Amino acid sequence: MGDSNCNWQEDEKIQLCNSWARVTVCSITGKSISLSKLWEKVFADYVENWRGPPTSRSPSALQSQFRHLKKMLKDWHNAQLQSRNNIASGHNMMDQMNQAQSIYMKHHPKEFDKWACWEKVKHHPYFVDPPSKERAPESFPTHIASENESPIDLDDDEVMETPPSSLPRPMGQKRAKEAMRKGKKVQDVASSLALSIQSMAESTQASVELVRQRNEEIAAHSKRVIELEEAKEDARIMGTDTSNMSPDEKRWWKQRKRSVMAKTLFDDGSSDCYTPRFD
């Protein structure tokens, strides 16, 4: 398992992603470090935090493996971003997830399944969604607005999933001045502006609630997928044949199996045997 030329196990890939994410956001490392020095630091972090058998993988082996992993993770990030932009209002998170998988499979032969690796890097700046177009700071124009000009300017993205408000559109500045000149009470103008502000607040609140629900659904789905992957990994560990291994390797696998059994007993109560869960 430690040989540089053998296949990478899933727990090795997870540790690699964790080490890369930790080193590349370190303020001490900085941006002027050479690529070889960077991967020496990633390698040092990997060795320090690796909990498996002694590894003989080299910094170049880690770099080569992560080059492949990073492309998969970036393609998955882009697929999620595109599916969020394409999905119609009213669709649930499973619709969005299925569309993201379809987009991902345009570049890969099978669905994305590196969930544990994704959890390690998804908050890294390299994988964070690009910021949305920022609104210009509020200013008070020196010109007089026309009658048909609204003093409220909202980006379409902020309200695109919110039902249109039935509240009346606030009057323009010119009409407000004319109304006051004609003796209309200032309270009427203030009331119109208050209705407009209330409409904006309700629209913003509805958008925030939709985003919150979407994030909760994504988090719940990701948790279920990770639990399934962990159960599969536990089953693989419990089924590993150690009869032909060295004494050191047998001891290590025995500890792994004990850890799996202890976790299962803790989760399921007083069970006398290991039964991986796939629900």
State the pLDDT at residue 30. Answer: 55
Q: What single string gives the DSSP state of each residue in 106-147?
A: TTSSS----HHHHHHHTTSGGGSPPPPPPPPPP---SSPPPT
Q: Note whether residue 158 is domain-resident.
A: no
Q: Note whether residue 87 is domain-resident.
A: no
How many CB atoms within 10 Å of residue 15? Answer: 22
How many separate helices (H) and strands (E) can be counted in the chain?
9, 0
Q: What is the H or E stretch that residue 19 is in?
A: helix 10-24
- Range with top average pLDDT, 120-124, 161-165, 175-179, 231-235: 120-124
Question: Is the model more confident about 148 or about 132?
Answer: 132
What SS3 class is residue 2?
A: coil
Q: Note whether residue 247 is domain-resident.
A: yes
Res. 124 pLDDT band, cuts 50 70 90: very high
Cα 92–Cα 98–Cα 203 angle in degrees, nearest 5: 30
Q: Note whether residue 118 is domain-resident.
A: no
Of 43-47, 149-153, 183-187, 203-207, the range with the lowest mean pLDDT is 149-153
Q: Is the pLDDT of residue 119 over 50?
A: yes
Q: Is the pLDDT of residue 278 over 50?
A: no
Q: Note whether residue 176 is domain-resident.
A: yes
What SS3 class is residue 235?
A: helix
Question: Is the model more confident about 243 or about 147?
Answer: 243
Q: Is the pLDDT of residue 71 over 70?
A: yes
Cα dihedral: 68, 69, 70, 75 (round 10): 90
Q: How far is CA 224 from the centre of its chain?
A: 15
Q: What is the distance between the alpha carbons of residues 63 and 40, in angstroms, rounded to a whole number?
A: 10
State the pLDDT at residue 7. Answer: 86
Q: Note whether residue 73 is domain-resident.
A: no
Of 26-35, 75-84, 208-217, the range with the lowest mean pLDDT is 26-35
Mean pLDDT, the chain, whole residue set: 76
The tens digit of pLDDT for each residue in 21-62 reads 999 987 666 566 788 999 999 999 999 999 888 888 999 999
Q: What single string gives the DSSP state of each residue in 151-176?
A: S----HHHHTTSPPP-SPPPPPHHHH
Res. 135 pLDDT band, cuts 50 70 90: very low
Q: What is the distance between the alpha carbons of residues 69 and 16, in angstroms, rounded to a whole number?
A: 10
| pTM (predicted TM-score) | 0.47
Q: What is the distance between the alpha carbons of residues 46 and 57, in angstroms, rounded to a whole number?
A: 10
Half-sphere exposure of 58 (CA within 13 A, CB side): 6
Residues in the chain: 279
List the one residue out of 64, 89, 258 whose CA is nearest residue 163: 89
State the pLDDT at residue 232. Answer: 87
Q: What is the H or E stretch that residue 30 is in?
A: none
Q: Note whether residue 234 is domain-resident.
A: yes
Res. 169 pLDDT band, cuts 50 70 90: low
Q: Note whether residue 195 is domain-resident.
A: yes
Q: Please tell me the total count of domains within the chain.
A: 1
State the pLDDT at residue 28. Answer: 67
Over range 189-210, report the average pLDDT: 77
**Domain region containing 248:** 164-279
State the pLDDT at residue 158. Answer: 32
